Amino acid sequence: MTESTATSTVEPILEVSGLVKHFPLTQGVLFKKQVGAVKAVDGVDFTLGEGETLGIVGESGCGKSTVARMLVNLERPTAGSIKYKGEDITRLSGRALKAVRRNIQMVFQDPYTSLNPRMTVGDIIGEPYDIHPEVAPKGDRRRRVQELLDVVGLNPEYVNRYPHQFSGGQRQRIGIARGLALRPEIIVADEPVSALDVSVQAQVINLLERLQGEFGLSYVFIAHDLSIVRHISDRVGVMYLGRIVEIGRDAEIYDHPTHPYTQA
């Protein structure tokens, strides 16, 4: 099944076409020479509709986290395009790129290493306002941060605590609150529950689903657990060896897989 036969029925907010990322292999110390390349992502195509959740599932090393990093511009693609509302963001820089980054945020896999242990929760969640001060005036930031803590199910009075004072599930809620701070339209969630206990995973998934309705979010949800992806996703893309080999509605992918890797 190709993307053309399983496109979203809603207006696309994100269009990814021919996305490629090769990491060079070099030889030598003083005079480095490229002798090859690791093909982490080798031609990925998909669309994301407004208010939709697209799940991308695959085994470790298939390139799905590299795709996530390219979507938020932490990695520059070797080739291909990522169009946000029709504009190719891979060609942007400076102020234009900064404006787009406000609308595409990321929730990372490990909620502990992604939070600065020397910063309070209030400073962590409020840090995006230093980069985008137009979103929240300085005198209003503490209130905004407390509102975000409340939205993700944490006590607003926790603003002065540090990450080590929270459980894994609570830390991931802090990461989600930070991702929501700038009121983005798209959140790229890279394995957001894989580091959590099974008992906590469902709570975080339910939180993400609730927030999607409240804030009108679109999600790219990346995971290796088929059951979690099916629970939260409207459509599912199966990634294998740097490519999306199959994409469609969850019932199509799970009940009638066509690619041997999906069947396996």
Instruction: Identify the burial level of 109 via C-beta atoms within 10 angstroms of its C-beta, where 0-12 means exposed, 13-18 middle and 19 or more buried.
Output: buried
Q: What is the pLDDT of residues 104-139, one digit of tens each?
A: 999 998 878 889 999 999 999 999 999 999 888 888
CATH classification of the domain holding 110 = 3.40.50.300
Classify strands 79-84 and 12-27 as parallel, antiparallel or unpaired. Answer: antiparallel
State how many domains the chain has.
Answer: 1
Local confidence band at 33 (pLDDT 50, 70, 90 cut-offs): confident
Instruction: Output the six-digit token pair for 15.
Output: 């269009």
220 backbone dihedrals φ, ψ, rounded to 5°: -105, 110
Which has the closest alpha carbon to 186: 43, 20, 35, 52?
52
**Amino acid 261: pLDDT:** 76
In angstroms, the CA 145 to CA 153 distance is 13
Q: Is residue 31 scored above 80 in pLDDT?
A: no
> Which pLDDT score is estimated for 176?
97
Q: What is the pLDDT of residues 222-254, one digit of tens each?
A: 998 888 898 899 999 999 999 999 999 878 887
Q: What is the pTM of this model?
A: 0.88
Q: Domain of 103?
A: 3-27+34-263
Per-residue pLDDT band for 3 (boundaries 50, 70, 90) equals very low
